[in-house]
Structure formats: C-alpha cells, structure tokens
Amino acid sequence: MRIAVPKEHTPLDRRVAMSPQAIKRLDSDEIQFVVESGAGLGASFTDDEYRDAGAQIAGDPQSLFEGADVVMKVNGPVLREDGTDELELIPAGALFIAQMRPHENAEVLKRLADRGVTSFSMELMPRTTLAQRMDCLSAFSTVAGYMAVIRGAQAASKFFPMLTTAAGTIPPANVFVIGAGVAGLQAIATARRLGAVVEGFDIRPETKEQVQSLGATFVEWEHATEDMQTEGGYAKEVSADEEQRERDLLAAHIAKSDVVITTALVPGRPAPKLISEDMVKGMRPGSVIVDLAAETGGNCELTVKGENVERHGVLILGQTDLAASLPVHGSLMYSRILSVLLQHVLDSDGKLVIDLDDEITTAIAVTHDGNVRYQQ
C-alpha cells in the first residue's frame, strides 16, 4: 500500500500529517510511505529523517500523488499558489484523510465523491472511549488552550506569578477561564503553572472537580443543573434568559481579571455570547481577552475573527491559528492519531477495509462509493 504525505499549503499552518517517527513505527513490507520534499520542515523534520525512517521523498506533487492508495493531510485539499489542484491529483478509489471542515466545503466533498475518492474527515471523530486515541480535535484543543495562556500572558505585559523582589512584592495575575472542556482545562493548568490565581467556570457542574483538581477556584452558578449536558458529554445550548443570568454572574469575575480566556462551545451552534460590550468596559485598561471561540462567532461580542483588536482599552485576541501554532508537537500528536486510525482500518492481512458498519468509519467517512455521506 502506498501512502502519500503532501506538504501543507494552508497559510499559518506548518504542521505535517506524518512524522518520521510515526512512519518508522508503521514501516513494513506492505506499507510504503512517500513524503513530499520539504513537507516536514515547518515541524523541524528533514527529508533525510524521513528517508532514514524508510519513506521515499517525492520532488513534485504529481509523483507524490501518483498511485497513492491513501493520502494523509492535516487540512483538506487546496489549490496551491502554483496552480496545482490537490483535489484533481488524488487518485480515483484512494482514501483521503484530513480535517475537511465538511460544514463549509460542500463543493469539495461533491468533487471528491464524483472522482470516486473515499474521504475521512477527522473532526467528525466521535468523542467516545473507543475513539479517544484518534480524537484530533481534543489534541489540537490542548494546543490551543496552552497557547491561549502564552499569548494572553505576552499581551498582558505583567508577571503571572507572585514575585518577592528587592523592588517590592508583585501580586499574581488573575486569570479567568470560561468553559472547562479540553481547551479550557489545559488553559487553567497552564495559567496555574505560570503562577497566576485562576478561576474557572462552566455550565456543566460535572467540571467543578476537574477545575478544582488543577488548583483553580470554580465559580458556582445556582442555575447550573445536571441536565445541561447531553448524553455525549457536551453542553446543551442555554436559553436567552439563562445566558443573561450567566452574564450577570460572570461580569464581576471578568471585571477583576487581568486575562480572560473564553472557550465556551456547543457543537454545531454559534458560540454563546458571554461577554457584552458593557462587560468589556468594566475591565481595567490593559486587560486581555483571548477568545478561542472566535471561529464560531466569538464568546465576546466585540471579538473580530482572526484579528487582535483593542476596544475600550482592552485587548481582544481573536486569532484562529492557535491549534496550528505548535507545529512540532501538533504534528507528533496528529501522526500518532493517524497511525492508530490506519491500524483501525487495516485487516489482519494489512488490507484497507472501509466498513460502514464500524462506528468510527461511519462517523468520519464523508464521501464513499461516489456519494457524499456528510449531512449538516
């Protein structure tokens, strides 16, 4: 089986789908990896390291894609700056694996289906115990949560830890993390490691123990109930009334924070608006909001997707590249995830099996057998 690993051509993304280490672990008589020259450089992996791991290096996209049974990427197929259309190069009948963003790429899915390509969209991996080792959203949310604190700390231009110095004692920074899912918990842990005093909040009361176990104070909400969580473990969308009550609770905590990190998400829904303009006005000048929900509309009503803006003296970071911003570890984690997935879809003879009765394959296969399977 021939597995092609192209170089990513998405702006601000220096990750690669397969590391030399992962290729070496999978190296066998049945599997031949072909890696595009320079594909790993953004993540500090050289062509020589790929060669040493047993991969072939392809000097151009045509020879890379030709004859591939599987193509592995971080992002969906793109039209490169030199005019190369990756989608046209994926061989008919091949399996294409990437984060496809299927909700906004209906045309790409149609073209892949028309060309007889089976494609797996990694974001659709169910968050179940069986799928845990293949969950790239959690891996990249871990990166995003960590980086939210790093960028927030840099923008805050003050120390996070308490310091006792000859020039006096410096009090610790106050950090408030809203939403205690994967990104939020990692943000809490990172801010604690830097020595800040941290508060955490989530509408799911189940998260209280997790927040406290990381050394943060959990902000209690009297309206939080067990039924705010779906069977799948995600939050339910709150009503407009509840959202207003939540804002009333959060306002005082936000006002006294140096850095607020928002990660509140309800899958498939626009981000809940938890910070109003008045709440921003209530913050001290120089305070920072890092809005991880910028991609889906922002948890703060003043967030501008993809931009850092200053409003009423408060810096609001709406960058959407955080998940891609640690390319070495991001690539290493993604490579392991794809390795587990590959083993999941290989039978005992090392042959690829697309079994739509399998709970993982059926969840992530967005095109197969000439059809688009994804439904919004």
Using CB under 6 A as the binding rule, the residues of this chain from 241 to 260 that contact ligand NAD are 246
d(CA 38, CA 133): 28
Asked whether position 296 contacts ligand NAD by CB under 6 A, the answer is yes
Active site includes 234? yes
For residue 15, give the nearest of 99, 111, 71, 95 by alpha carbon: 99
Active site includes 52? no
Active site includes 138? yes
SS3 readout for the chain: CEEEECCCCCCCCCCCCCCHHHHHHHCCCCCEEEEECCCCHHHCCCHHHHHHCCCEEECCHHHHHCCCCEEEEEECCCECCCCCEHHHHCCCCCEEEEECCHHHCHHHHHHHHHCCCEEEEHHHCCCCCCCHHHCHHHHHHHHHHHHHHHHHHHHHCCCCCCEEECCEEECCCEEEEECCCHHHHHHHHHHHHCCCEEEEECCCHHHHHHHHHCCCEECCCCCCCHHHECCCCCECCCCHHHHHHHHHHHHHHHHCCCEEEECCCCCCCCCCCCECHHHHHCCCCCCEEEEHHHHHCCCECCCCCCCEEEECCEEEECCCCHHHCCHHHHHHHHHHHHHHHHHHHECCCCCECCCCCCHHHHHHEEEECCEECCCC
Catalytic residue among 138, 186, 257, 287: 138
CB-nearer residue toward ligand NAD: 80 or 269: 269
Asked whether position 238 contacts ligand NAD by CB under 6 A, the answer is yes
Asked whether position 204 contacts ligand NAD by CB under 6 A, the answer is yes
CB-nearer residue toward ligand NAD: 4 or 134: 134
Rg of the chain over all Cα atoms, to the nearest angstrom: 22
Catalytic residue among 13, 21, 63, 127: 127
CB-nearer residue toward ligand NAD: 30 or 321: 321
Q: Which of 196, 219, 293, 338 binds ligand NAD (CB under 6 A)?
A: 293
Active site includes 135? yes
d(CA 256, CA 228): 27
Using CB under 6 A as the binding rule, the residues of this chain from 99 to 128 that contact ligand NAD are none
Q: Which of 254, 264, 332, 372 binds ligand NAD (CB under 6 A)?
A: 264
CB-nearer residue toward ligand NAD: 183 or 214: 183
d(CA 376, CA 23): 34
Catalytic residue among 193, 234, 311, 358: 234
Q: Which of 13, 123, 295, 358 binds ligand NAD (CB under 6 A)?
A: 295
Asked whether position 137 contacts ligand NAD by CB under 6 A, the answer is yes
Asked whether position 140 contacts ligand NAD by CB under 6 A, the answer is yes
CB-nearer residue toward ligand NAD: 20 or 298: 298
Using CB under 6 A, count the residues that bind ligand NAD.
Answer: 34
Least separation in angstroms between residue 48's CB and ligand NAD is 31
Active site includes 257? no
d(CA 80, CA 164): 53
Using CB under 6 A as the binding rule, the residues of this chain from 174 to 203 that contact ligand NAD are 178-184, 202-203
Closest-approach residue to ligand NAD (CB): 181
Catalytic residue among 135, 202, 258, 291: 135
Q: Which of 58, 144, 316, 341 binds ligand NAD (CB under 6 A)?
A: 144
Asked whether position 272 contacts ligand NAD by CB under 6 A, the answer is yes
CB-nearer residue toward ligand NAD: 295 or 301: 295
Least separation in angstroms between residue 264's CB and ligand NAD is 4
Backbone angles phi, psi at 361, to 5 degrees: -60, -45
Q: Is 19:78 a contact under the CB 8 Å cutoff? A: no
CB-nearer residue toward ligand NAD: 71 or 131: 131
Least separation in angstroms between residue 308's CB and ligand NAD is 12
- Catalog residues that contact ligand NAD under the rule CB under 6 A: 137, 140-141, 144, 178-184, 202-204, 207, 234-235, 238, 246, 263-266, 272, 274, 292-296, 320-323
* Residues recognised as catalytic: 127, 132, 135, 138, 234
